[in-house]
Structure 1
Amino acid sequence: MSTTTTSATIQEVVDKFNTLDDALKAAFPKVDPRLVVGLIIREKTEKRPIYTLETVIKPGQKIDSIRNDILNVTGMAPGFYLQNTKIIVTHALDLELLKRINDLDYVVSIKGSPYSAGGSSDF
Structure 2
Amino acid sequence: MDCINNLKNKYREFQEAMEVCFPKVDKNLIVELLGELKEDEFPGYNLQIKLREGFDEDRFRESILRDFGVLPAFHRDEKYGGHAALEHRVNFDTLSYLSNMEDVDFIKGSRAGGGRASIGPRMERTEEDKISGPPGGKA
- TM-score normalised by L of structure 1: 0.84
Q: How many percent of aligned residue pairs carry the same amino acid?
A: 26
- Structure 2 residue ranges without an equivalent (≥5): 125-139
**2:50 alignment partner AA:** V
Kept after mapping to 1: 8 A contact 2:56/2:103: no
3-state SS, counterpart of residue 17 of structure 1: helix
State the match for 2:111 in structure 1. Answer: 114
Aligned partners of 1:105, 1:65: CA distance in 2, in Å? 11
Matches within 5 A, 1:63-82: 63-82=57-76
Kept after mapping to 2: 8 A contact 1:49/1:92: yes
State the match for 2:101 in structure 1. Answer: 104
Aligned partners of 2:118, 2:23: CA distance in 1, in Å? 23
> What RMSD over aligned residues (CA atoms) do the two structures have, in Å?
1.9
Q: Residues 72-94 of structure 1, C-alpha deviation per residue, up to 9 Å, x if partnerless?
A: 22222211111572011100111
**2:109 alignment partner AA:** G
Matches within 5 A, 1:1-123: 7-82=1-76, 85-116=82-113, 117-120=115-118, 123=124
Stretch moving more, 83-92 or 20-29: 83-92
Aligned partners of 1:9, 1:54: CA distance in 2, in Å? 38
Aligned partners of 1:71, 1:90: CA distance in 2, in Å? 12
- TM-score normalised by L of structure 2: 0.75
